[in-house]
A and B are shown apart, each in its own frame.
Chain A
Amino acid sequence: MTVTALGAAVRRKEDHRFITGKGQYTDDINRPGQAQAYFLRSPHAHATLKKIDIAKAKAMPGVVAIYTGEDVAADKVGGLICGWMIHSKDGTPMRAGPHPILAQGKVRYVGDHVAVVIAETLSQAKDAAEAIVVDYGVLPANADTSKAQKAPEVHSEAPNNTVYDWHIGDKAATEAAFKAAKHVTTLEIVNNRLVPNAMEPRAAVGEYDAGNDALTLYTTSQNPHVARLVLSAFIGIAPEHKLRVIAPDVGGGFGSKIFIYAEETVCVWAARKCGRPVKWTADRTEEFLCVAHGRDHVTHAELATDAEGKITGLRVKTIANMGAYLSTFASSVPTYLYATLLSGQYAIPNIYAEVDAVYTNTAPVDAYRGAGRPEATFVVERLVEAAAREIGMDPAAFRRRNFVTKFPHQTPVIMMYDCGDYKASLVKAMEMADVKGFGKRRREAAKRGKLRGLGYSTYIEACGIAPSQAVGSLGAGVGLWESAEVRVNPVGTVEVLTGSHSHGQGHETTFAQLVSSRLGISIDNVSIVHGDTDKVQFGMGTYGSRSGAVGMSAISKALDKIEAKAKKVASHVLEAAEADIDFKDGKFTVKGTDKSVDFGTVALNAYIAHKFNPQELEPGLKEGSFYDPTNFTFPAGCHICEIEVDQETGVATIAKWTAVDDFGNVINPMIVEGQVHGGIAQGVGQALLEGAIYNKDGQLVTASFMDYAMPRAHDLPSFDVGMTVTPCPSNPLGIKGCGEAGAIAAPAAVINALTDALGTEEVPMPATPQALWTVIQKQSRAAIAAE
């Protein structure tokens, strides 16, 4: 039997299923008697709901039921929650408005849920929705982050539309550092709003089993147990043992499927109420309007340096757009997932950050691939690059002067970096990118009328969230451990039940590799079970690059227990003392003899239990574990982007991309490289192409792929990906995580390359051809004026 080692680049086991169209996604699930839900959504960004007349619609053909916010209130269905409490500077808790699953009294963004129509067919549901008469009292709206605090009130609970004004760091010390600084670099930064656009739109099927008074929800979730917990404990749909949540194959999440949304809640609530399974699948427009968006920060950022080019302080003031309601983890993203990373890879003695979270009349904003860390990296890496240029230092040399070199390193903003070698990844990336030859390439480009620039991003992220005690002390409503159960079958095959959830990450392969390498069995004899609360013990799900570092650590712990018990069984089979049993390459051997037995035989003996006394040893071979990490993990690395701008048109073309990442130990380099590629594509998307734009009335202008530009293969170069390794000391496998790195690193690398090419720090994201052309025009006007 072939063992697949850790570090082997084996092909993904799950891909055969996906590529041959045999995946089972939520929309593939159809239950007997199922009816279709369609949501009537607000066409207005801000309005009072004066009257909703459903009488005519109810009488339309095929209509099963129509529910509005009144029905939700009558049934005492709880509102959606935000599970992370943030306190303002003055110690007061954040001011969150209610978030009902169907609007009550007011709608607050275009797409807000006004009513649900459940009918025999989707067409009939849509027809009936058109017959609902809603009397809206249209109110002035605001979508603009920077204007939110002076805009019309979105929730009466939040004066000045401010959910919290939070801060972190030592204000006085930081001010002193700035006073004493030789040089201060200042940047105004807008981190553009993004629409996640997972390939599979969100979907749900709710079903009620009257015989058992139990509910099942099939849904596109990255964390079915968390969904069940919230639906039970907070929204009050059903007690946990009467609610089964199944997240089958899920086609990408990027964070957007962590959250518990109105639609799936309505489906499962309505299923009991109308006595029919209720299905809803978002169309792409609904996905654009109503999925939780990402980013959307406006930041004033400053960096203080001394005469030697040492960073002495960093100060930011950020306004973070929360949208019209607080989504499930929205409050944590611009605070503990953002400002705690503002030290970057640098030893910065003084940091102070202020963050105001604001309501606007837009879709809720929450975690999206990187969640806070791309925003932090963008601030730090833009500042560092600009500061180096301003003080006349080479940006790489400036970084090296300021890198953290001793570990563990305590930053002024909570994080304790456990290990890393930032110089190693920078040096390796510079070699791979042939930075030395850049001057020549730039001159050659100039001959072709192209402005060529080079930009670095030496990023750091905090992954593997997270130590439960630590996040608890910061306001998290949950613990962030992970669970695993390893079931060895009598024939020696293995099922792993994991609380992690795979929605593109390849867990069915990497987790199997771990089992294979530990037990000496083929990965084909391992199956990974996930995504069903009735099958799998409580788990926390997949996000924040945590499934390797936390999820696999739990499996590893369970495997320790399996090994320990299997040794006991083997000692009986081999009639030797337990202490004399060695386990290696799938074989139990008696030390110093040639007596051995393979893993399969031991598994069988564990179940037939003929060879041992059940008083001394329980039959069976199945172990579980819960693993709570001791620290975050800190993947870091260096990305270098080389870009060319066509002066005539403003089109930017990425000429070269080098990524050197330190993810600690790597289980499957092919999968890791794929994650890096996808992440960079998303980061380049943010930097050059993507931007959700609301107009002044709060209408989403970029509500389809006709106007919202997703990155295509055509927009990307072939990536040059390398690695350095400092094994993570905080978990048994030495893994740091790789899922978000590309998206975190890339935007700063692109914009740093563009600002280098254009010779100005004022380059907006996304740097579309029009935006760059405008920058070029401004510069040439300035040049003419200067003559």
Chain B
Amino acid sequence: MYPFKYQKAATVRGAVSLLGKAEDPKLLAGGHTLIPTMKQRLASPKTLIDLSGAGLSGIEQKGRNIVIGAMTTHAEVAASAIVQQAIPALARLAAHIGDPHVRHRGTIGGSVANNDPAADYPAALMALGATVHTSKRKIPAEEFFAGMFATALDEDEVITKIAFPVPAKAAYVKFPNPASRYAIVGVFVAKKGSQVKVAVTGAGSGGVFRHTAMEEALAKRFNPKSLEGVATPAADLNGDIHASADYRAHLVGVIAKRAVAAAIA
């Protein structure tokens, strides 16, 4: 790790102002992605702006939305009675991120801002049609994720909260990497009214994506059987030592069926 300056923001506005003023700054949430990369000397921000005192954690129901503060940890989401009641699939997703250490430090804001192509939350945001609230605007999930480790966030922008519309039915099934337990393939399906959304994480070479062919098939009939024969082209998928693109393409089909089965169970 290279030396850096540590600053703690007391408000979102304070964080934004520090982002504007400080030398080579980086926001610090749970630190579970940022700190390891700094330790390995792969990242070397000059200033860390800690968001833990900026009042960004908490979960509330606002009308038909569940609103989760950016600094809310995975463990808090998993244990939240509100989330468990309204979107149990989201609580379950959070409960299966990493290990207990990770879940008690890692935050939803950090996960979404980082947009790791194998992270779980991006699939939930996409399938549920969530909105990312920031220090300056509201960004629909569709527009927020911009490819591997890339987002629509500006350099001086802070995620404040994420609003999830409550679906009628939803489920997330993850096929974990045997080593890291990140998603090799994770499929989030959500049904709201007549609309079905299927979001796939872990597999796409450009990060999370919506599987429109599956969505069309499921819109006709929300049942795993509807996915028989719906292809997932391997060409756009990742391949690595754990899973080739072909295997991932196959898994997307299997895991999507299991997600639909779980959603209607």
Answer yes or no: B41 CB below 8 A from chain A CBs: yes
Decide: B179 and A770 in contact? CB cutoff 8 A: no
The answer to whether residues A770 and B244 also contact, given A123-B1, A126-B41 and a CB cut-off of 8 A, is yes
Total interface residues on B, using CB and 8 Å? Answer: 19
Residues of chain A within 8 A of B175, CB atoms compared: 649, 769
Decide: B241 and A707 in contact? CB cutoff 8 A: yes
Q: Contact residues of A with B, CB < 8 Å? A: 123, 126, 285, 648-649, 689, 693, 701-702, 705-710, 768-770, 773-774
Decide: A693 and B241 in contact? CB cutoff 8 A: yes
Residues of chain B within 8 A of A689, CB atoms compared: 178-179
Report the minimal beta-carbon distance from B3 to chain A, rounded to whole angstroms.
8
Closest Cβ neighbor of B258 among chain A residues: A648
Decide: A706 and B247 in contact? CB cutoff 8 A: no
Report the minimal beta-carbon distance from A561 to chain B, rounded to whole angstroms.
52
Residues of chain B within 8 A of A123, CB atoms compared: 1-3
Residues of chain A within 8 A of B247, CB atoms compared: 770, 773-774
Residues of chain A within 8 A of B177, CB atoms compared: 706, 709
Answer yes or no: B242 CB below 8 A from chain A CBs: yes
Which of B2, B41, B178, B250 contacts A709, CB < 8 Å?
A: B178
Answer yes or no: B243 CB below 8 A from chain A CBs: yes
Which of A126, A648, A709 contacts B179, CB < 8 Å?
A: A709
Q: Quick one: which of B126-148 are within 8 Å of A by CB?
A: none
Q: Contact residues of B with A, CB < 8 Å? A: 1-3, 40-41, 175, 177-180, 182, 241-244, 247, 250-251, 254
Q: List 11 A-B contacts (CB under 8 A).
A: A649-B254, A689-B178, A706-B180, A706-B182, A709-B177, A709-B178, A710-B179, A769-B175, A769-B178, A769-B243, A770-B247
Report the minimal beta-carbon distance from A400 to chain B, rounded to whole angstroms.
36
**Separation of A245 and B242 alpha carbons in the complex (Å):** 42
Report the minimal beta-carbon distance from B35 to chain A, rounded to whole angstroms.
14
Report the minimal beta-carbon distance from A451 to chain B, rounded to whole angstroms.
15
Decide: A702 and B241 in contact? CB cutoff 8 A: yes
The answer to whether residues A770 and B242 also contact, given A707-B179, A708-B179, A709-B179 and a CB cut-off of 8 A, is yes
**Separation of A769 and B182 alpha carbons in the complex (Å):** 15
Which of B242, B250, B254 contacts A768, CB < 8 Å?
A: B242
**Separation of A466 and B110 alpha carbons in the complex (Å):** 56
Closest Cβ neighbor of A774 among chain B residues: B247
Residues of chain B within 8 A of A285, CB atoms compared: 40
Report the minimal beta-carbon distance from A652 to chain B, rounded to whole angstroms.
11
**Separation of A710 and B182 alpha carbons in the complex (Å):** 14
Decide: A707 and B242 in contact? CB cutoff 8 A: yes
Closest Cβ neighbor of A773 among chain B residues: B247
Report the minimal beta-carbon distance from A304 to chain B, rounded to whole angstroms.
37
**Separation of A702 and B179 alpha carbons in the complex (Å):** 10
Decide: A705 and B180 in contact? CB cutoff 8 A: yes
**Separation of A14 and B180 alpha carbons in the complex (Å):** 32
**Separation of A710 and B180 alpha carbons in the complex (Å):** 10
Report the minimal beta-carbon distance from B158 to chain A, rounded to whole angstroms.
28
Decide: A705 and B242 in contact? CB cutoff 8 A: no
**Separation of A705 and B250 alpha carbons in the complex (Å):** 25
The answer to whether residues A706 and B244 also contact, given A123-B1, A648-B254 and a CB cut-off of 8 A, is no
Q: Which of the listed residues B1, B2, B247 has the most CB atoms from chain A within 10 Å of its own CB?
A: B247
Which of A648, A705, A709, A770 contacts B243, CB < 8 Å?
A: A770
Closest Cβ neighbor of B251 among chain A residues: A649
**Separation of A600 and B178 alpha carbons in the complex (Å):** 57
Which of A648, A701, A773 contacts B241, CB < 8 Å?
A: A701
Decide: A773 and B250 in contact? CB cutoff 8 A: yes
**Separation of A706 and B36 alpha carbons in the complex (Å):** 12
Report the minimal beta-carbon distance from B80 to chain A, rounded to whole angstroms.
24
Closest Cβ neighbor of B40 among chain A residues: A285
Closest Cβ neighbor of B185 among chain A residues: A649
Closest Cβ neighbor of B250 among chain A residues: A773
**Separation of A550 and B1 alpha carbons in the complex (Å):** 46
Report the minimal beta-carbon distance from A3 to chain B, rounded to whole angstroms.
42
Closest Cβ neighbor of A283 among chain B residues: B39
Report the minimal beta-carbon distance from B81 to chain A, rounded to whole angstroms.
26
Residues of chain B within 8 A of A710, CB atoms compared: 179
Report the minimal beta-carbon distance from A130 to chain B, rounded to whole angstroms.
8
Residues of chain A within 8 A of B251, CB atoms compared: 649
**Separation of A285 and B42 alpha carbons in the complex (Å):** 14
Contacts beyond the supplied A705-B180, A708-B179: 4 A-B pairs with Cβ under 8 Å: A702-B179, A706-B177, A706-B180, A768-B242
Report the minimal beta-carbon distance from B98 to chain A, rounded to whole angstroms.
11
**Separation of A769 and B175 alpha carbons in the complex (Å):** 10
